[in-house]
Copies of this chain bind each other. A is one copy, B any other.
Amino acid sequence: MNNNLGIIMKFSITVFVFTLIFFSNNIFADNIDGRVAIKVSSKVKIQILEDMRKNLTSIQLIVAALANEDFEQVVKIAGELGSMDHTEEAMMRRKSLSEEYRSLGPQLHMGFQSLSRDARDFGDVQHSLGQLSNVMNVCVACHQGYRLEVE
């Protein structure tokens, strides 16, 4: 009976250790990322990722337009990104995010506003590129500092 108990105990400890090894891999992997987790619902995460893909596509289109010195196109695309989404849903979504993270949105929108305005007023590729580089610094800062986590 004691012998059986010993075997069960040993087996339990082995299972426990293997379970620990299995899960610690994921826990450790999560920790080494080092970015601040922004807790959002699954729906909000999908919406934010969709918005970011739109930003990426627009930046690609701005680079393509600058390659062709097509300032009309730069004014249009940057202008669209310069205006904040004021629908009730977007306002509620923003309300659920941390203040520091939330502050990056307006920086991005103001950057695109300047880019659009100056492309219209000056039509200067080097100047527009400088502004685009500043806007992209906001993207870099946000991606380096934060990650979205479904709550």
Copy total for this chain: 2
Report whether A29 and B57 are in contact in the complex, using a CB–CB cutoff of 8 Å. no
A46 to chain B, nearest CB (A): 5
Residue of B nearest to A59 (CB): B136
Task: Flag whether A64 is at the interface (Cβ < 8 A).
Answer: yes
Report whether A67 and B130 are in contact in the complex, using a CB–CB cutoff of 8 Å. yes
Which A positions have Cβ atoms within 8 angstroms of B? 25-26, 29-30, 32-33, 41-43, 46, 49, 53, 56-57, 59-60, 63-64, 66-69, 125-127, 129-130, 132-133, 136-137, 139-140, 143-144, 147, 150
A129 CB contact (under 8 Å) in B26, B29, B67, B127: B67
Q: When chains A and B are docked, how far (Å) is the Cα of A42 from the Cα of B147?
A: 14
